[in-house]
A = this chain, B = another copy of it.
């Protein structure tokens, strides 16, 4: 079985080393790894054309995979990396199993509470809102309910773990747990 390895670690300086470690761990758990970047867009393409071609290559790689493990660690803000989330939705839309991990154990509710500096109010309908009026999901979830639901309703799990700040996108503790659980569920 092939697994697509999604996550914002592609943006760190040590991306290649982390992806190589993920590939090795994936093989050790009995799966065939598929990574964004396994195929490269033609070097002749520049600018936006190169971005579009990279998207096409990554979608082709996803279509070759049987399930996904997504790194949902918050990225440049309080929510998961949207590129990774697109890929998670893409694989779920194909009906594939999904697993995820995050290196910030704090849940969605607490992160948004912190974003608003604790300034929440409940309106007359019972909805909890920030000072900007935006409603906040008060469920005990890792991120927006579509992410948690997409994964858990497919019998997957989201592993929460607190990584050291300098290992935020390279700590693979949660990734390894995902592999162990996926192997038990999918290779039985």
Contact = CB atoms under 8 A, between A and B. Distances in A.
Nearest to A36: B146
A85 interface: yes
Interface stretch (A25-33, A56-64, A175-183): A56-64
Copies of this subunit: 2
A51 B90 contact: no
Nearest to A58: B146
A146 B76 contact: no
A69 interface: no
Contacts of A90: 89-90, 92-93, 150
Interface string A97-137: 00000000000000010010000000100000100011111
Given A86-B146, A87-B146, A94-B94, 4 more contacts: A52-B149, A55-B153, A59-B153, A77-B77
